[in-house]
A and B are shown apart, each in its own frame.
Chain A
Amino acid sequence: MEATTLQCLYKPRDYASDQEVKWCPGCGDYAIISAVQKTFSELNLKKEDVTIVSGIGCSSRFPYYMNTYGFHTIHGRAAAVATGVKLANPDLSVWMMSGDGDSLAIGGNHFIHAVRRNININLILFNNEIYGLTKGQYSPTSERGKITKSSPYGTVESPFNVGELTLGSKGHFYARVPDTDVKLMTEVMKQAYLHEGFSVVEVLQNCVIFNDKTHADITSKETKLNNQILLEHGKPMLFGENNSKGLLLNGLDLEVVTIGENGISEEDILVHDASAKSNVLHNLLIQMKLPEFPIAMGVIRNADANVYDKAFFEQMENQEQLSKYKSLDDLFMSGNIFTINS
């Protein structure tokens, strides 16, 4: 570990810009930015080769705080702007910073299409289940019945599950991480970078001001052991104290079992295959809810698929070979032309 750090071009803090960070003290965004800086450092990314694109919202101030190229765009449109950046210069490492309102409400259309196209962009989706910048209205991920400033009697609508929406949009990379675990965030972000195609990393982010402790059942020190399960590719799905509990497939449903009870041994436990072509089991894992199940964390899906920008440029290169025109002059002079002499 020490050795790799030494080889790095830059230390994590070299990726910080000279701008004062203005998130509320205690906001989960601080942990996310340090994980991103660590990720870039460990991946040895050149500062000038990284472009960070964001929309509008607390999380979208992110680019200002990074000493890379950055673009703070307009509400909901980061995916579209990032797509243009990637197609203009596919050599750039393009990252998108966005929130639950930005990507799933006003920017929902761009989100699903960027996922569907599978363009090579990494999205860090800060899910705090609230609108922070506008001071506390419910978002498309707020739980049903949530009381907020715009829902004083509780919401009467059901939320999106980010993972379900990603898979429903034909996504091939989805990870979920709590903002309390910088090490895990860093690990997952590195995998997102290495995945070719659109990667969605959902961070359960705490908004101390308008939605404090909304993820506390999942992320707090006291509960996390039993209420989270870290999924790692190729490893059995175990969790709880001393990994004493695990997951089984019972018919078409998942089931939580205790090792050693009812003749269950570790061999009976499901082994995580993030690269499986079928997303059925990934969906079941994504849908697990408290209190019956733990919340799935880590890289839940990481499967190969056609990558949009790759195909886009391959087609362009083919056309350069195949075209009957060698210059615009050739094109302009093709077909029915006629000459008028003086």
Chain B
Amino acid sequence: MKTTLESVVIKFAGDSGDGMQLAGTLFTDTTAVMGNSIATFPDFPSEIRAPQGTVAGVSGFQIHFGTSGVHSPGDTPDILVAMNPAALKANLHNLKPACTILLDSDAFSKKTIEKAGFGNNPLEDDTLSDFKVIEAPITSLTKSALTDLGLDNKTADRCKNVFTLGIVFWLFSEPLEQTINFFKQKFKNNPTIAEANIKAIKAGYNYALTIEAIKSSFTVLPAKKVPGTYRNITGNQATAWGLMAAAQKAGKPLFLGSYPITPATDIMQELTKHKWTKTRVFQAEDEIAGICSTIGAAFAGNVAVTTTSGPGMALKTEAIGLAVMTELPIVIVNVQRGGPSTGLPTKTEQSDLMQAVWGRNGESPVVVISASTPADCFDWAFEATRIALEHMTPVILLTESYLGNGAEPWRIKSLKELPEIKPLMLETKDANWQPYKRDNEKLTRKWVVPGTPEMQHRIGGLEKDECTGCVSHNPQNHELMVKIRKEKIQRVANFIPEQRYKGKDAKKLLVVGWGGQFGILFGAVNELQKEGKDIAFTHFNYINPLPKNTAEIFSKFDKIIVCELNDGQFANYLRALLPQFKYEQYNKIQGLPFTVKELKNKFNQLLEEK
């Protein structure tokens, strides 16, 4: 029997060593190529070497795919793949009734069941009675499928994720070709391993085809998307590519000074692959050297970027102040994670907003913007670079773990369709030039880089004379400079698009979001709008400065609710800037994204109240 579905959520869960991230990624790639809309959410354990078989060591990869309504990785899975008792235990509280569970029955021994924290064997009592359970002896089937290759036990065991993937492919009538090609390519120097993986996936597929246990398979309809050429992309990769595209559009080499930190490291690793673009990647000795080298590179004329996450951001604080004082163009990407301190390195959060806007000594304004989906990290990295270069200022780009590691299809942009970026560089001597002489419209100074004849000058962290840039301790000059630096950032608002909102006829409730929770917020509001509710949605990417029409939009609604993954930072920011409005809050601080369900509950409650 074949059922046709609009969209499905699958979660692959297993030990960190079970290869769940790979299985999830391979499945995503195939569904994307088949034309489905997708959104993914990898959920890593914090400890790379958490004890095997424990709930703390469970690694998950959730994918939501289908024809419509795919704005987020989905609240709860329709299908859970559990490679061991711990993976089952970790997800049991978050399953829909009647959902399908595919599990490896070989992995359920007395010892592993106890380790996972089950009292009794969940396969034998009524723990799973509400669900459709497919018990497959995956470990032993994988081994026997590979016997004639003469592999050692461990290597054969490693293929069980691929065998499982074969079962899932059959369930969704997805073709195997692409994955088989992937193995051929990846293991081209090790044909035995390539063959083992190919055998395993075919064996899993054929097993599902033949056994009685699986009675139905599904077809998921492809999405109605904007025509064009697509590829699957993660937020971190999109960020890296957006930066490279921006540097090319600005006609300057890209420089990245960075230090490894979860979950931002992938951006550095992606950029360093592309030395052929003349991108310079400097892996610094620490976070401070990461940003300081970036400032040096900006001084010397590169499109200069540093990437990090919360704790690294804290270390970079003093240097960001130096970039503010010297008015150099740099981009600082913060892929946010749970804090404070080391916090939750692998979990998502939006709690570095206040730090980005205000977290420096002195009056130290910078532009702060944020991305909203994995694919649009490309556009926001590009925009961050544009603003930095065209307004001679540091720009902080806030993304988050949920975006950085999440993936979705990206309609590929060609360099031709991207706008030019015009750095404010002065390359020949201008008799009227002074290092801090400003443009009247934007209040920007000119970018004159070392090597330019007859324009030698000195900059630094000491307060500057308003025009010459020489060190000045004059009291009036300092106050003036503080105001100029602030005004320069405010004027960026004249060069960005107006804020938009969805729900032109609504009056009662405005949902306000920012950053990476866009898809889930959009999905929740969308569903309520379809139900005919009086609700609208506006999502902020420009944080500082805010778009100029923000107050105008807010004034149209009876109630405003600000939803964010922190304890109310954007809400408080809005209270400080636009105190004439009252803001309700919906906050979640669990290291997890919102769910559509909880948002709808909250919005309904506000809509029903007077």
List, in ascending order, chain A residues with CB within 8 A of B225's CB.
340
Q: How far is the CA of A67 from the CA of B455 in the complex (A)?
A: 9
Interface membership of B403, Cβ < 8 A: no
List, in ascending order, chain B residues with CB within 8 A of A331's CB.
241, 274
Q: How far is the CA of A51 from the CA of B299 in the complex (A)?
A: 10
List, in ascending order, chain B residues with CB within 8 A of A109's CB.
285-286, 289
B255 touches A110 (CB 8 A): no
From residue A173, how far is it (CB to closest CB) to chain B in Å?
Answer: 20
Interface membership of A48, Cβ < 8 A: yes
List, in ascending order, chain A residues with CB within 8 A of B451's CB.
48-49, 69, 89, 91-92
Interface membership of A233, Cβ < 8 A: no
List, in ascending order, chain A residues with CB within 8 A of B455's CB.
48
Interface membership of A342, Cβ < 8 A: yes
Interface string of A59-71 (1 = CB under 8 A from B): 0000110111111
Interface size class of B (residues with CB under 8 A): 35 or more
Q: How far is the CA of A10 from the CA of B319 in the complex (A)?
A: 35
Interface string of B346-385 (1 = CB under 8 A from A): 0000000000000000000000000000000000000000
Chain B: CB-nearest residue to A48: B453
A328 touches B288 (CB 8 A): no
Interface membership of A134, Cβ < 8 A: no
List, in ascending order, chain A residues with CB within 8 A of B300's CB.
51, 84-85, 88-89, 92
Chain A: CB-nearest residue to B277: A328
List, in ascending order, chain A residues with CB within 8 A of B280's CB.
87-88, 312, 316
Specify which of A56, A63, A113 is in contact with B458 (CB 8 Å cutoff).
A63
Q: How far is the CA of A71 from the CA of B326 in the complex (A)?
A: 9
Chain B: CB-nearest residue to A339: B229
Query: Which of B452, B454, B459 gathers the greatest number of chain A CB atoms within 10 Å?
Result: B459
Specify which of B229, B292, B461 is in contact with A333 (CB 8 Å cutoff).
B229
Q: How far is the CA of A340 from the CA of B34 in the complex (A)?
A: 10
Interface membership of A341, Cβ < 8 A: yes
Interface membership of B462, Cβ < 8 A: yes
Which segment of A139-147, A252-260, A296-304, A317-325 sits at the interface? A317-325
From residue A336, how far is it (CB to closest CB) to chain B in Å?
Answer: 5
From residue A165, how far is it (CB to closest CB) to chain B in Å?
Answer: 15
Chain B: CB-nearest residue to A316: B275
List, in ascending order, chain A residues with CB within 8 A of B461's CB.
56, 72-74
B471 touches A64 (CB 8 A): yes
From residue B239, how far is it (CB to closest CB) to chain A in Å?
Answer: 14
B460 touches A73 (CB 8 A): yes
Q: What is the predominant secondary structure among interface residues of chain B facing chain A?
A: mixed
From residue B250, how far is it (CB to closest CB) to chain A in Å?
Answer: 13
Interface string of A148-160 (1 = CB under 8 A from B): 0000000000000
B414 touches A73 (CB 8 A): no
Chain B: CB-nearest residue to A82: B296
Q: How far is the CA of A320 from the CA of B280 in the complex (A)?
A: 12
Chain A residues 255 to 301 lying within 8 A of chain B, measured CB to CB, are none
From residue A56, how far is it (CB to closest CB) to chain B in Å?
Answer: 8
List, in ascending order, chain B residues with CB within 8 A of A17's CB.
458
Q: How far is the CA of A47 from the CA of B453 in the complex (A)?
A: 8
A332 touches B292 (CB 8 A): no
How many residues on A have C-beta within 8 angstroms of the other chain's C-beta atoms? 60
Q: How far is the CA of A230 from the CA of B29 in the complex (A)?
A: 68
List, in ascending order, chain A residues with CB within 8 A of B289's CB.
77, 79-80, 83, 109-110, 113
A336 touches B276 (CB 8 A): no
From residue A147, how far is it (CB to closest CB) to chain B in Å?
Answer: 31
Q: How far is the CA of A69 from the CA of B227 in the complex (A)?
A: 51
A329 touches B415 (CB 8 A): yes
Interface membership of A53, Cβ < 8 A: yes
Interface membership of A315, Cβ < 8 A: yes
Specify which of A68, A81, A315, A338 is in contact with B229 (CB 8 Å cutoff).
A338
Say yes or no: A319-B276 contact (C-beta < 8 A), given A48-B454, A84-B293, A85-B296. yes
A69 touches B296 (CB 8 A): no
Chain A: CB-nearest residue to B306: A84
Q: How far is the CA of A254 from the CA of B11 in the complex (A)?
A: 71
Interface membership of A327, Cβ < 8 A: yes
Interface membership of A3, Cβ < 8 A: no
Interface membership of A1, Cβ < 8 A: no
Interface membership of A25, Cβ < 8 A: no
Interface membership of A251, Cβ < 8 A: no
Say yes or no: A84-B226 contact (C-beta < 8 A), given A68-B456, A73-B292, A335-B231. no
From residue A70, how far is it (CB to closest CB) to chain B in Å?
Answer: 4
Interface membership of B32, Cβ < 8 A: yes
B318 touches A88 (CB 8 A): no
From residue A112, how far is it (CB to closest CB) to chain B in Å?
Answer: 8
Interface membership of A6, Cβ < 8 A: no
Say yes or no: A325-B276 contact (C-beta < 8 A), given A48-B451, A53-B296, A77-B292. yes
A80 touches B284 (CB 8 A): yes
Chain B: CB-nearest residue to A47: B456
Q: How far is the CA of A19 from the CA of B295 in the complex (A)?
A: 24
Say yes or no: A81-B293 contact (C-beta < 8 A), given A51-B300, A89-B300, A92-B300. yes
Chain A: CB-nearest residue to B322: A74
Interface membership of B470, Cβ < 8 A: yes
Q: How far is the CA of A166 from the CA of B228 in the complex (A)?
A: 57
Interface membership of B248, Cβ < 8 A: yes
Q: How far is the CA of A82 from the CA of B257 in the complex (A)?
A: 12
A81 touches B296 (CB 8 A): yes
From residue A144, how far is it (CB to closest CB) to chain B in Å?
Answer: 28
Q: How far is the CA of A247 from the CA of B319 in the complex (A)?
A: 48
List, in ascending order, chain B residues with CB within 8 A of A328's CB.
241, 244-245, 248, 277, 415
Known contacts A64-B471, A341-B227; 19 additional CB pairs below 8 A are: A48-B450, A48-B452, A64-B460, A70-B456, A70-B457, A77-B288, A80-B293, A81-B296, A84-B300, A92-B450, A113-B285, A329-B414, A332-B413, A336-B33, A338-B33, A338-B229, A340-B226, A340-B227, A340-B229
List 14 contacting pairs A-B, 8 Å CB cutoff, sorted by A: A48-B451, A48-B454, A50-B450, A80-B285, A80-B289, A80-B296, A81-B295, A87-B297, A92-B300, A316-B280, A328-B245, A328-B277, A337-B412, A340-B225
- In order of increasing CB-CB distance, the 9 nearest A-B pairs are A84-B296, A72-B460, A323-B276, A80-B292, A84-B293, A88-B300, A70-B458, A69-B450, A80-B289
